[in-house]
Structure 1
Amino acid sequence: MSGMPESVEEGGQLTGYDRGLVLVVEDEWVIADLVRTYLVRDGFTVIVEATGEAALATAHRHRPVALILDIMLPDMEGTEVCRRLRSRQDWTPVLFLTARDEEVDRLLGLELGGDDYITKPFSPRELVARVRAVLRRASGTVAEDIRCVGLVKSDMPRRRVFVEDGPVELTVTEFDLLAYLMGRPGRVCTRSDLLAAVWGYRSDVGVRTVDVHIAQLRAKLGRGARMIRTVRGVGYSVEG
């Protein structure tokens, strides 16, 4: 199912080249075609691949703005695709798409650097909305250029983070979570509020997602992670 980026014409207007290229990695043709149709309608260019190896090659060659990645692929787990991307310092946003709804699978995907997780059956419109949300976060800037809390400094326009002047590589979601907390020093942010602010939705079921990303942040920030305080039963706060 590989090939050149696709587009469609609607009402005489060429669409599919405005929002950027999305790589869809899905071996079930019906699902892949459904996802592609809705993304193209929304102005994205789409390439579909059916295997992990093909996806890695296409991601390297075409540099998509986002990946929609099925976990159950013929040649390898989607989580392994994500792990390989992150290991080569590719921080393209990844949204996992899978029929497996076990919490351990969701958390594993997030721990490996995924930005969101959508379970089959799903709403195509919600999927497109999630893609647009993660891309807004990836490209967004704030008025305040630099934020410093404790040993951590974040350069907002460039979306870069430093601990004791050493650079730290974060995913889009990890950066946005850290930026949100650092913009509210001393304030306790609930898990539900963080889900709404960073991921764009509220869900009691998804609060564990916040905990996983906080754990990932702490691991990457090292000594700088001491500024993130857990407020048991409520959420998190950042204190200098």
Structure 2
Amino acid sequence: METKYKLRSQHTIDLVRDLLGQGVDRISLIIRHSDRQYSDNPRLEPFMGLNDPGKQYAFDLGKFFPLDLTPVLFSSHFGRCIETAYLIDKGFTCVSNKDLPHNTINTALTPFYVKDIITATNMLIKTGSTQFVKDWFDKTIDESIMLDPEVTANRITDFMVSRLKDLSPGQAAVCVTHDWNIFPVKYFKLGLPHENALDAGYLDAVAFFEKGDRIFAAARQLDPVEIS
């Protein structure tokens, strides 16, 4: 099975540069992993790593990441997220000559919201990915199968804001995760409709930042939204 999503790395770099141009000096960035391998067997899903183009895309994101910000890396425990974080590190260090802190794995970036993987997988196969996520957002899937999506969005947002507050000026928390971790943030925090919330291409991102003691989130689709 070959599923293709759009590459959004340039959008992410442009978003970061735009925020720097506004005087933002710390950014917490939740970003989807790079282009990856696929399998027809859904049970192999956790083991699908990056493909060769995806490795280059991740390296290039690091290489062209604005030098005004030093990445502090976090990721899901899935191999493709660890690979992405490693290659962003490698790309950034090759042009900056800086040694970055080692990547830190955190459960907030994993699919922690899947409570019953067997039932969820069967439902996903039956309905398709897009309809399954819409059903999840509409809260028609029992919480024994999938954690409440708004609770999920809150937990991920809290993690991202905490990372932001831990940063020093001139740092960016680069948190590599899955598209399904980004979807609920876009839907419940940024207020995007389904068709936009469920669009998260490779290396797509949501940026969290602070202005005047107020926290905002921004994505490529819209202007910044204040996070309460």
Q: TM > 0.5 between the two?
A: no
Which structure is higher in helix share?
Answer: 2
Which structure is higher in strand share?
Answer: 1
TM-score normalized by structure 2?
A: 0.28
Relative contact order (alpha carbons < 8 A, sep ≥ 6): 1 or 2 greater? 2
TM-score normalized by structure 1?
A: 0.27
